[in-house]
Amino acid sequence: MNYRFKKNNLALIRFVLKVMNSIRAYLKNRFDAINNNKLKQNLLNAIPFWVGALLTGVVAVIYAKLFVLAEEGTAYLFHLDKRLFFILTPICFVAAWALVNKYAPYARGSGIPQVSASIELANPKKYAIVSKFLSFRVILVKIVSSLIMVFGGGAVGREGPTIQIAGSIFKKINDLLPEWYPKISKKNMLITGAASGLAAAFNTPLGGIVFAIEELTKTHFSYFKSALITGVIIAGLTALNILGPYLYLGYPKVNNLSWWIIFPVILVAILSGYLGCLMTRFILYVLRKKSFLKTNVSKIGYCLAGGLLIALMGVFISMETFGTGKEIMQQILLTDQKYTEWYTPVLRFLGPVISFTNGGAGGVFAPALSAGASIGSVVSAFFELHHSNANLIILCGMVAFLTGVTRSPFTSAILVLEMTTAESIIFYLMMAGLTANLIATLASKHSFYDQLKEQYLKEVDA
């Protein structure tokens, strides 16, 4: 009896173990299947972002090289015979406007407000309208028009246009996905595209991420952080591997700062922040007045007048009127020539106003940085600052002026930080950005890009 009981118990134990092993095997297979499906789903979701980022990096590099060639062409002609610009600049201004006006009206200007408007319209009811802002045609017109502008001496940059170009690339990839492909958020694709564009344009991956969070979206970051970060990294690495390791501005010295330097920092932040905001208010004012020009003849007349005015300032005052102003920043940051002429900030203020309102393609990011750098240089001269102290004030001026334009203090600070690897002064850069943002907000409640975005949204709804 005892033997039978033991035998039955052993049989029961074996049966229980067998059932448990079967359950474990079943659960393991199910778990592996779930994991494989999840991995497959994540991979399929990520591939469009990676492809878009790769293409963005390549196009951004090509665009950057063409932009440099255009600026070198400007310098060559200026030294050959500066009088040529009395003809060249007005013609280029008209050509850049005409190209945009005929083929892609929403390729005009920076590109950042267009991307912001596209993100807002990225829903099933209004997504078709996004093609007006982001398309292959916009890419071509944006590149060619901005190159014509800068070749003619226009004070425009390529960073805003690169963001719109990148947004167009990501949109096109999303549109080309087949019906069976897992659905991907159109809004997240556009946000990642814009961030990748900024990262590739400046070689600033952190700046691209902060820009996406601070400027482009109010949604919760965690919903698309993986796609955004990998997209920014791929775009940045693509540009980095083609161009090689580089910093947009170089390695200015910012060590051994004076203890009292915080006072000039606050001053330059107030001045630059207010003037950055004032420049955008001038641009918006001119654009409103220009809207009353209904005929193409009157618009061509405006382009001719603006081009002639830029040429007059460049020929009779200084060549520093022309282009992005990158050379100004590099000179005062990386050489012993820390001080610019008192009129340089005026030229760097008026140049973008005239160029941006012309109606061709071109951004204000780089011109804003150069304007802030020139203000910082003048403030440094006033306080007779040298070496590291002067460099700090110049960098803070750049952050503050860009903040006055964009109302994005953290993006501005991170961009300048990554352009120079000046990690030791991050406190000063942040303080300059926040001070400038406060001053700009007191001067005008609504940001430049937000006002332009609302204008574009009204136009497409009309």
- Could you report the per-residue pLDDT of 179-216, keeping only the tens digit for each? 888 888 888 889 888 888 888 887 777 777 778 777 76
**pLDDT at residue 45, rounded to an integer:** 79
| CA distance linking residue 446 with residue 383, whole number of Å | 33
- Select from 213, 214, 209, 212 the least CA-distant residue to 232: 209
124: pLDDT confidence band, cut at 50, 70 and 90? confident
**Average pLDDT score over the chain:** 85
101: pLDDT confidence band, cut at 50, 70 and 90? very high
115: pLDDT confidence band, cut at 50, 70 and 90? very high
Phi and psi, residue 179, nearest 5°: -60, -35
The answer on pLDDT for 282 being more than 90 is: yes
Which whole number is the average pLDDT over 134-159? 95
CA 172 to mean position of chain CA atoms: 19
| CA distance linking residue 274 with residue 276, whole number of Å | 5
**pLDDT at residue 47, rounded to an integer:** 83
334: pLDDT confidence band, cut at 50, 70 and 90? confident
* Residue 23 tokens, joined: 């359950």
Asked whether the beta carbons of 155 and 310 are under 8 A apart, the reply is yes
Return the number of other C-beta atoms located less than 10 Å from residue 257's C-beta.
Answer: 17
What is the maximum alpha-carbon separation in the chain? 119
Asked whether the beta carbons of 318 and 150 are under 8 A apart, the reply is no
Please report, for residues 5, 6, 8, 10, 294, the alpha-carbon distance to residue 1 in angstroms, rounded to integers and kept in the order given.
Answer: 6, 9, 11, 14, 109
**pLDDT at residue 460, rounded to an integer:** 83
The answer on pLDDT for 273 being more than 90 is: yes
Token pair 């750049």 is at which residue?
A: 398
**pLDDT at residue 254, rounded to an integer:** 74
| Domains of the chain with CATH codes | 48-243 (1.10.3080.10), 259-461 (1.10.3080.10)
Asked whether the beta carbons of 116 and 453 are under 8 A apart, the reply is yes
| CA distance linking residue 105 with residue 101, whole number of Å | 5
The answer on pLDDT for 4 being more than 60 is: no
Asked whether the beta carbons of 184 and 136 are under 8 A apart, the reply is no
9-36 residues labelled b (16+ CB within 10 A) or e (exposed): eeeeeeeeeeeeeeeeeeeeeeeeeeee
**pLDDT at residue 297, rounded to an integer:** 92
Higher pLDDT, 251 or 280: 280
Return the number of other C-beta atoms located less than 10 Å from residue 172's C-beta.
Answer: 18
The answer on pLDDT for 2 being more than 60 is: no
